Amino acid sequence: MKLTVLVDNNTLIDQCYVGEPGVCYYIENNNDKILFDTGYSNVFIENARKMNIDLSKINKLIISHGHDDHAGGLKYLFTEKKDVELIAHPDCFNYKEKDNMYIGSSMTKEELQNVCNLNLIKEPTEISKNLIFLGEVPTIFDFEERKVIGNYHKDNQIIEDKVMEDSAIVYKSDKGLFIITGCSHSGICSIIEYAKNVCNDNRIYGVIGGFHLLENNEKLDKTIAYLKENNIKDLYPCHCVSLEAKIKIAASTPIKEVGVSQVIEI
Ligand SMILES: [Zn+2]
Ligand SMILES: [Zn+2]
């Protein structure tokens, strides 16, 4: 499995690519060419072009959840019909708003159905050899109780949005599990613990993505204790992890930097 960071909040020195506060990873696994999230805008397409990554070859696309920093780029990818399987939770493409601002996907479910093969699933599913989409993640730890982020509209109702669709993917390597997450609204510890249950493997080799740790509070302390206990070799907290949280995590678990163009191979 080879992962290339196409979009991150951070860019790396001497690598002339563009960053934005979103997530998009390009993954090559077996014969599959997979995109995980699409960032906010068309930045992922521009960066891929400069890296000689041909996005017309992708056959699978996973959207971690419906927020615009992950699903905003969809309309730039699907300017025409493509033979791509899009895998996401059934609630991913609901109309989402917060403080009267639209914060959802740039394409509706109906629009997507016309341009790709939409596969909306809640259950854990193998999407490529040894690569599992987790589907709906249960809250395993009390300190990760889901927070409401705005509202979503469904069947003429306006409902508080606990981002139930938030998911992640897991690569089952010989060395243990490598977890790739978007924003971790489900809670990074619950995601890791659920991945262990689903894959029947307690070894966590690595985790990359947004852990949604922005404040210095009890949740951060409990998360740090959990990460330490799991003895994770390659930890890449990025996107929605504050500098303060990274510094606190690094005191007990070594962390690695993330930036556009970075390549991780397992
Ligand atoms: Zn989000
Ligand atoms: Zn995000």
What is the pTM for the complete model shown? 0.97
Per-residue pLDDT at 213? 97
* Ligand 2 midpoint to CA 249 (Å): 19
Condensed to tens digits (0 to 9), the pLDDT of residues 87-125 reads: 999 999 999 999 999 999 999 999 999 999 999 999 999
What ligand has the least distance to the C-alpha of 150?
A: 1
What ligand has the least distance to the C-alpha of 70?
A: 2
What ligand has the least distance to the C-alpha of 181?
A: 2
Gap between the Cα atoms of 100 and 188, Å rounded: 28
Task: For residue 178, list its beta bridge partners.
Answer: 171, 206
* Ligand 2 midpoint to CA 239 (Å): 7
Residue 22 to residues 36, 156, 183, Cα–Cα distance (Å)? 11, 30, 9
Gap between the Cα atoms of 263 and 155, Å rounded: 42
Evaluated on CA atoms 210, 235, 33, 187, the torsion sign reads negative
* Ligand 1 midpoint to CA 111 (Å): 21
Residues with CB under 5 A from ligand 1 (ion): 67, 183
Collapsed DSSP state (helix, strand, coil) of residue 132? strand
The amino acid that residue 171 corresponds to is Y
For residue 90, with 0-12 CB atoms within 10 Å meaning exposed, 13-18 middle and 19 or more buried, which class applies?
middle
* Ligand 1 midpoint to CA 166 (Å): 8
Condensed to tens digits (0 to 9), the pLDDT of residues 116-155 reads: 999 999 999 999 999 999 999 999 999 999 999 999 998 8
- Output DSSP code: residue 33: E
- Fold for 2-265, please state it: Metallo-beta-lactamase; Chain A (3.60.15)
Evaluated on CA atoms 189, 66, 7, 59, the torsion sign reads positive
Mean pLDDT of the chain: 97
Strands 234-238 and 151-154: unpaired
Backbone angles phi, psi at 211, to 5 degrees: -100, 0
Domain ranges of the chain: 2-265
Gap between the Cα atoms of 194 and 188, Å rounded: 10
Task: For residue 245, list its beta bridge partners.
Answer: none
* Ligand 2 midpoint to CA 174 (Å): 29
